[in-house]
Amino acid sequence: MRKVLLITAALATIPASVMAADLQEVVDARRGFYAILGANMGVLALMARGETEYDGAVAQTHADNLKLLTAYSMGHLYAPGTSNADMPGKTRALPKIWEDFAGVQEKGMAYVQAVENLTEVAGLDRAELGGAVQRLGGACKDCHDNYRARDF
């Protein structure tokens, strides 16, 4: 929250044209961040479903990647003025995010706990991985269902 307020203050001094470019950069970075989550999750989901062979070391690597990203400070990726109402067609982030940071944070905490659980069991066997991936997928979906638009 504090970071978001600092960003607001910083943006207030930037001319409108530059600001528009910066906000596009924020949206690109935000979507890129989530695309990386998706790419790691994709490998794990294929393995969990048995569509690729289970490999504990590979599963652990992707679980650890997700864990690493839970330490990333997301505040700047949610700069004000970057909802799908502000930038139609560019993002699916719903305005509700900016009206309900506490709710987003709650979904984020459930997500972090699911990642934590994943890192503990991903390397054990396919069944353990499967359970953890399912729980994590539920945490991703719970946030998407509430804070991400279905379409652009």
Does 148 help bind ligand HEC (rule: CB under 6 A)? yes
Does 107 help bind ligand HEC (rule: CB under 6 A)? yes
Coil/strand/helix, residue 12: coil
- Residue 54 near residue 129 (C-beta atoms within 8 A): yes
Which listed residue (20, 38, 68, 99) binds ligand HEC by CB under 6 A? 38
By CB under 6 A, which span of 14-22, 36-44, 56-64, 125-133 interacts with ligand HEC?
A: 36-44
Please choose, from the candidates 105, 115, 95, the residue with its C-alpha nearest in 3D space to the C-alpha of residue 75. Answer: 105
- 143 known ligand binder: yes
| Structure tokens that stand for 98 in this block | 């900016």
When the beta carbons of 132 and 136 are compared against ligand HEC, the nearer one is 136
Does 111 help bind ligand HEC (rule: CB under 6 A)? yes
Task: Supply the angle between the helices 101-121 and 56-69 in degrees, to the nearest 10.
Answer: 150
What is the separation, in whole angstroms, between the first and last Cα of the chain? 26
Binding mask 11-30 for ligand HEC (x = CB under 6 A): ----------------x--x
Which listed residue (1, 9, 12, 35) binds ligand HEC by CB under 6 A? 35
- Count CB neighbours of 118 within 10 A: 25
